[in-house]
Amino acid sequence: MAKEVKTQNLEMAKSLRQVTQDEWYVPGHRTCQGCGPALVYKLVSKATGPNSIFLGPTGCMYVANTSYLCAPFAYPWMHTQITNGGAVASGIEAAYQVLIRKGKYKGELPNIVVMAGDGGAIDIGLQAMSAMMYRGHDALFIMYDNESYANTGIQTSPATPYGANTTFTPPGKAVPEGKVLFPKDAPQLVIGAHPAVHYVATASVAYPVDLINKVRKALNYKGPAFLHLHAPCPKGWLFDAAKTVEIAKLAIQTGMWVNYEWEKGEYTYQHTPKEYKPVKEYMKHQYRFNHLTDAHLAKMQAFIDAKLKAPGKPIAVPVQGPREQA
Amino acid sequence: MSGKEVFYQGNEACAEGALYAGCRFFGGYPITPSTEVAEFLSRRLPRVGGAFIQMEDEIAAMASIIGASLVGKKSLTATSGPGMSLKLENIGFACITEVPCVIVNVMRGGPSTGLPTGPGQSDVMQAKWGTHGDHPAIALAPASVQEIFNETVRAFNISERLRTPVILLTDEIIGHMREKITIPEKGELEIWDRPRPDCPPEEYLPYDTSKGIIPPMADFGSGYRWHVTGLNHDASGFPTNKPSLVQPEEERLMAKVTENLDIIEKYEHLTKDGAKVGIVAYGSSARSANAAIRLALEEGIPVDFIRPITLWPYPSQPTIEMAEKVDTIVVPEMNLGQMIDEVQRCIEGRAKVVGVNRVDGDPITPENILEKIREVA
């Protein structure tokens, strides 16, 4: 792919005051009260501005945003099937490159942004996402992570944490903890296997300026970039809808979520607490973990402890099969 | 029928029917309006020693049930239109490798994402022709919650006995509708298992048809060596492109259906004296057709009725009988005209055929059908 056409340099914000008051994700949707993914969309849209094309693989940010003959997107937006956000983005970017090369399009290459949920990014959508990263298309793939298939009524996804109660991982006598598997590590999937990628970062709705700046940094890089954004879901995780940001902060304070950047092989960490709280402090607010015993919580704590011991390195996770239940 | 009475949604009845038939493996992916089948089995399968796996996509879900079936477990997956489109290649694989499995398609509206929460009947031709190449196609189309239970059991039975995939076509209406049903006592409904080899492993040929057109199937891991391939193969299971072997094998696959119509075909045929109008309807549209027939009779118009419960292979004989009696056959369906072509094909001009078609996400009402009956009577 020709990479020399993009010349934009989106500025970093030092505080929310420096962030535009213009909205490109506007009223006109029916997302839930306290929706984390909707907040992600709002912040990402502020970061990209209007010269953007957004692609939404099937998910709650497609269905809840586009019902009733209206949508909140003030830029061109397209629904892609849940399998293929990365593939459609590849086609759009490649076509722009041709138009630019032949002088038939004189403008700036728009920001091509895939806004995929966790299923559309690392489950059914993994193949197309990975191929977009592999081929080096100048597009940004965002995985807004609400840790479930929320659109179809909260089923588990590879991003759903161990122990969560979803409609496909119901806790009961035979399987007391509900979900028995530990999640895939999305950013490490991208970092570990895609030489064309130079920028991968994680961010959270708890820190909006950081999130906006990471989107801009990702867009300033020529070539593909990947962002993993934590987006708490009151409906799926079953917590008070007023506490979305609080839950997101607790995730960081307990080590359940780590904000970091990976730029050309170098890791830097943000918002690292001086001392991590026990994961229980995060989990106790969410009814999806309500059935877990102390043994289950200890298993989760051990998993997080192991993760946090290896900062800056791909995190090795002990493989947990369904038969190895606590 | 004796047994336990429950107030079930169609999707739950389907899952319960699968358990009754001996299904012990479900591989699935969430999709509206079929998700409840999986939800139900995610709760129940672990309790009966079965396995429930949420797969990474629809293709994988279909592939997983082929794998599980090869190990000897009766296997199920459930989906709706967009997921069905993804499963098609593997359905063809199950046809040619002769791996029994059951696929539930709770039909919704429209091509692509369409109307996820609205009903449709527009996958009926896909059930017959969807996967590429000539292949046997069996599809059952129940019309009530009880019938979903019973037909799920029958789908497994047919699939096991004939070693071929069977598709259960329901739709959003009967999938989500709740009705009282009776779950029969164990043993009340007959349960069939696949034929298994009785020869010693060293003599086993997986596609040996010397004793009949359904070759015995050995479970993986049971000591019988078996090569499974999507390529055309001979009796040994190894690939061949020898014309003298390929054509008879493909014809045998089709003959498994055509020579076993007695266990596959199922329909309701209701006749009335002096009827000059007939209706062919299936699935939830048949419920509206039933009501329309009652309303028409109140107006003095007798109407004959055929309700195919097995949609593929289509019940030609009763349809020909109907066409010889009536002047017009009305075919209501929630698509823009699919089974109507099959009706026309098999009656060869013996009667006029008209459709009542809706794809707006609302069901076809008895009034929609009654209006057409009045028009043609």
Please, which pLDDT band fits residue A3 given cuts at 50, 70 and 90? very low
Q: How far is CA B196 from the centre of its chain?
A: 24
- Choose the closest CB to B56 out of A124, A152, A173: A124
Give the model's confidence band at A311: pLDDT under 50 very low, under 70 low, under 90 confident, else very high: low
Say if A150 is an interface residue toward chain B (CB within 8 Å): no
User: Does residue B161 surpass a pLDDT of 60?
Assistant: yes
Angle (deg, nearest 10), helices B10-21 and B145-162: 40
What's the average model confidence in pLDDT over A187-194? Answer: 94
| pLDDT for position A25 | 96
Interface contact flag, B35 A167, Cβ < 8 Å? yes
Assess whether pLDDT exceeds 60 at residue A147. Answer: yes
Identify the domain containing residue A144 by its residue range. Answer: 16-308
- A323 pLDDT exceeds 70? no
Is the pLDDT confidence value at A116 over 50?
yes
Per the DSSP assignment, residues forming a β-bridge with A52 are A111
pLDDT for A324 equals 45
Q: Please list every residue in chain B whose beta carbon sits closer than 8 Å to the beta carbon of residue A167.
A: 35, 39, 42
Nearest CA distance, B267 vs chain A (angstrom): 34
- State residue A317's pLDDT score: 42
Distance from CA of B43 to the nearest CA of A (A): 6
Contact B330, B372 (CB under 8 A): yes
Q: Can you tell me the mean pLDDT for A84-98?
A: 97
What predicted TM-score, i.e. pTM, was given to this entire model? 0.93
A153 Rama class: left (phi>0) / alpha (psi -120 to 50) / beta = left
At A4 the pLDDT is 47
Q: Touching check for A173 and chain B: CB below 8 Å?
A: yes
Task: Name the phi and psi angles at A265, rounded to 5.
Answer: 95, -10
pLDDT of residue A318: 42
CA of A121: which chain B residue's CA is closest?
B56
Closest chain A residue by Cα to residue B41: A168
- Per-residue confidence at A6, pLDDT binned at 50, 70, 90? low
The residue in chain A having the minimum alpha-carbon distance to the alpha carbon of residue B26 is A168
What single-letter amino acid sits at A279?
A: V
How confident is the model at residue A102, as a pLDDT?
A: 96
Question: In B258-318, at which residue ranges do the beta strands (DSSP E only) sit?
Answer: 267-270, 277-280, 303-308, 310-312
Q: What is the DSSP letter of B202?
A: G
B86: enclosing H helix or E strand: helix B81-97
A165 touches B: beta carbon within 8 Å: no
pLDDT of B41 over the 90 cut: yes
A143 lies in a domain?
yes
Does A237 contact chain B (CB < 8 Å)? Answer: no
Q: Which residue of B has its CA nearest to A166?
A: B39
Task: Look at residue B24 in the predicted model and tell me its pLDDT.
Answer: 98
| pLDDT reported for residue B2 | 79
Inter-CA distances, A60 with A75, A164, B194, Å? 19, 19, 42
Closest CA in chain B for residue A84: B57
Which of B309, B304, B305 shows the shortest CA–CA distance to B267? B309
Residue in B39, B43, B57 closest to A124 by CB: B57
Interface residue of B12, B24, B37, B57 to substitute, partner A, most A CBs within 10 Å: B57
B153 alpha carbon, distance to own chain's centre: 11
CB contact under 8 A, A173 and B47: yes
Answer for the pair A216, A140: CB distance below 8 angstroms, yes or no: no
C-alpha distance from residue A3 to each of A224, A270, B161 (Å): 10, 29, 59
B30 and A149: CB-CB below 8 Å? yes
How far apart CA A177 and CA A274 sit, in angstroms, is 31
- Checking if the pLDDT of B298 tops 60, the result is yes
pLDDT on residue A313 = 53
The radius of gyration of chain A's CA atoms, rounded to the nearest angstrom, is 19
Q: Which two tokens stand for residue B353?
A: 């055929």
| pLDDT value of position A70 | 85
Residue A316 has a pLDDT of 39
- Predicted local distance difference test score (pLDDT) of residue A321: 42
Q: Which chain A residue has the Cα nearest residue B48?
A: A174
Contact B31 A175 (CB under 8 A): no
Q: What angle do CA A5, A6, A9 make, to 5 degrees?
A: 155
Chain A to chain B Cβ contacts (< 8 Å): 49
Given CB atoms, is A320 within the 8 Å cutoff of chain B? no
Question: Residue A69: its pLDDT value, please?
Answer: 81
Q: B35: which chain A residues are within 8 Å (Cβ-Cβ)?
A: 152-153, 155, 167
Looking at the structure, give the CATH architecture of the domain made up of residues B1-264: 3-Layer(aba) Sandwich (3.40)
Q: How many domains does chain A have?
A: 1
Q: Which residues of A touch B42 (CB under 8 A)?
A: 167-170
Rounded CA-CA distance B62/B26 in Å is 10
| CB-facing half-sphere around the CA of A125: CA atoms within 13 A | 33
Instruction: State the Cα–Cα distance between residues B199 and B287, nearest whole angstrom.
Output: 49
Q: How many Cα atoms are found within 13 Å in the side-chain-facing hemisphere of A161?
A: 26
The H or E element containing residue B36 is helix B35-44
**Summary mean pLDDT of chain B:** 97
Å between B75 CA and nearest CA of chain A: 17
Selected residue of B11, B29, B106 to mutate for chain A interface (largest A Cβ count, 10 A): B29
Instruction: Assign B162 a pLDDT band (cuts: 50, 70, 90).
Output: very high
**B43·A79 Cβ contact <8 A:** no
pLDDT tens digit string along B16-33? 999 999 999 999 999 999
Mean pLDDT of B222-228: 95
Task: With beta carbons under 8 A apart, name residues in chain B contacting A164.
Answer: none
Distance CA B78, CA B37 (A): 7
Record: contact A126-B32, CB cut-off 8 A? no
Q: Report the residue count for chain B.
A: 377
Q: pLDDT confidence of A314, banded at 50, 70, 90?
A: very low
B32 and A152 within 8 Å at the Cβ level: the answer is yes
Which one-letter amino acid corresponds to residue A13?
A
Please tell me if residue A167 touches chain B, with a CB cutoff of 8 Å: yes
What are the chain B neighbours of A158 within 8 Å (beta carbons)?
56
pLDDT digits (tens, 9 = 90+) for B248-268: 999 999 999 999 999 999 999
Query: Directed axis angle between helix A85-101 and helix A126-135, to 10°?
Result: 30
**In which element (H, E) is residue B151 found?**
helix B145-162
Chain B residues closer than 8 Å to A170 by CB: 39, 42-43
Q: What is the pLDDT of residues A261-289, one digit of tens each?
A: 999 888 999 999 999 999 999 999 999 99
pLDDT(A140) > 70: yes
Q: Is residue A55 domain-resident?
A: yes
- For residue A320, what pLDDT is reported? 45
CA gap B52, A35 in Å, rounded:
30
pLDDT at B82 over 60: yes
Q: Which two tokens stand for residue B338?
A: 């699919």
**Domain contains A221:** yes
A170 touches chain B (CB under 8 A): yes
- Domain B268-376 falls in which CATH fold? Rossmann fold (3.40.50)
Mean pLDDT of chain A: 91
SS3 annotation, chain A: CCCCCCCCCCCCCCCHHHCCCCCCECCCCCCCCCCHHHHHHHHHHHHHCCCEEEEEECCHHHHCCCCCCCCCECCCEEEECCCCHHHHHHHHHHHHHHHHHCCCCCCCCCEEEEEECHHHHHCCCHHHHHHHHHHCCCCEEEEEECCCECCCCCECCCCCCCCCCECCECCCCCCCCCCCCCCCCHHHHHHHHCCCCCEEEEEECCCHHHHHHHHHHHHHCCCCEEEEEECCCHHHHCCCHHHHHHHHHHHHHHCCCCEEEEECCEEEEECCCCCCCCCHHHHCCCHHHCCCCHHHHHHHHHHHHHHHCCCCCCCCCCCCCCCCCC
Domain membership flag for residue A286: yes
- Segment A135-140 shows an average pLDDT of 97
Taking CA–CA distances from B113, the nearest residue in chain A reads A81
Among A15-19, B70-74, B167-171, B173-177, the least confident range: A15-19
Between B364 and A3, whose confidence is greater?
B364
Instruction: Inspect the interface and report whether the beta carbons of B39 and A173 lie closer than 8 Å.
Output: no
Query: Is the pLDDT assigned to residue A85 strictly greater than 60?
Result: yes
> Looking at chain B, which residues constitute the CATH 3.40.50.920 domain(s)?
268-376
Angstroms from A145 CA to nearest CA on chain B: 16
Q: Identify the residue among A63, A78, A152, A173 best suited for mutation to test binding to B, counting B beta carbons within 10 A and taking the highest.
A: A152
Asked if B112 and A81 come within 8 Å (Cβ–Cβ), the reply is yes
Please tell me the predicted confidence (pLDDT) of residue A319: 38
